[in-house]
């Protein structure tokens, strides 16, 4: 168990690095680490990931805010709608079998990765991004924010890896701004989702707090690297990473679901 815990903690450094550098991917790594490496039950892993990712994102947000990358108006509107969805998803997750939750998790990852790899037709520049509120209508912000929040609370993911594409592909924000703004939304969504989940799922706080501390250290390094990597490479690299993880989770959980149905 001690060796397993050490391996899990080393992998958790990647959680923070992913959040700091990409504005997402934290839950993509946290949930599988807690489920497959530590053997945690899926609902508990999902609830734990909400805390780990939420705190880590808050720390990363501070670094990005100091660099002026956060689009506060869009992020707050998106996040408010997301909090409503996340609370609902956190509560609904208790009624859905663990294998099905993980498969939903994988399907969302694959769909989002495809969108990230394909990219936008016309990348936005920084001048356009300053008017992102006008080019990203309020109704769309609220609708997409609610759906992303629902996914966050339901499967412990759908934070950055759905928010970043939404802000980048639909909102017209440059990748660096989308990454930074996504952290604000993640903090809001995970707080709401965790509140809903804690109504029925207890957490192993010593493990959760230890993982959080390690992830925070990784996020500080990742945030410093943002903006030094070309946007196209960052977006496509993120997409390929999410796609690979989605396929892995799907192949692991599909047999479990089939066995349960049988």
Over residues 167-180, the mean pLDDT reads 78
Say how many Å lie between the first and final Cα of the chain, rounded.
32
Quick one: pLDDT at residue 209? 92
Q: Which 3 state secondary structure label does DSSP give 164?
A: helix
What confidence tier does 170 reach under pLDDT thresholds 50, 70, 90?
A: low
Closest CA to 63 of 218, 232, 235: 218
pLDDT at 156: 60
Q: Where are the domains of the chain?
A: 2-261
pLDDT digits (tens, 9 = 90+) for 206-255: 989 988 898 888 878 776 776 676 767 777 877 787 788 778 878 877 88
In this prediction the pTM is: 0.70
pLDDT (average), residues 172-177: 80
Q: Who wins on pLDDT, 160 or 215?
A: 215
What pLDDT is stored for residue 161 in this prediction? 66
Alpha carbon separation from 43 to 118, 198, 217, 258 (Å, rounded): 32, 10, 26, 19
> What percentage of the chain carries pLDDT values higher than 90?
2
Determine the average pLDDT of the residues in 34-50: 85
Residue the block writes with tokens 């409503």: 84
């Amino acid at each position: 168990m001690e060796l397993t815990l050490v391996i899990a903690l080393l992998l958790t450094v990647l959680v923070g690095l992913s959040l700091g550098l990409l504005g997402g991917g934290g839950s993509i790594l946290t949930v599988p680490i807690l489920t497959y490496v530590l053997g945690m039950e899926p609902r508990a892993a999902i609830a734990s990931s909400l805390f780990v990712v939420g705190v880590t994102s808050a720390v990363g947000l501070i670094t990005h805010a100091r660099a002026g990358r956060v689009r506060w108006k869009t992020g707050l509107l998106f996040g408010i709608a997301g909090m409503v969805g996340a609370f609902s998803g956190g509560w609904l997750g208790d009624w859905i079998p663990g294998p099905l939750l993980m498969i939903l998790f994988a399907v969302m990852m694959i769909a989002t990765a495809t969108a990230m790899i394909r990219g936008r037709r016309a990348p936005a520049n920084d001048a356009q991004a300053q008017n992102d509120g006008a080019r990203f209508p309020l109704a769309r912000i609220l609708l997409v924010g609610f759906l992303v929040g629902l996914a966050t609370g339901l499967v412990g993911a759908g934070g950055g890896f759905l928010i970043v594409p939404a802000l980048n592909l639909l909102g017209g924000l440059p990748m660096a701004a989308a990454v930074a703004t996504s952290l604000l939304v993640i903090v809001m969504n995970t707080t709401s989702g965790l509140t809903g989940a804690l109504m029925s799922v207890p957490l192993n706080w010593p493990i959760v707090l230890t993982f959080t501390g390690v992830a925070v250290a990784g996020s500080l390094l990742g945030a410093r690297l943002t903006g030094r990597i070309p946007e196209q490479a960052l977006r496509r690299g993120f997409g390929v990473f999410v796609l690979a993880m989605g396929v892995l989770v799907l192949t692991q959980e599909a047999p479990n679901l089939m066995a349960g149905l049988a």
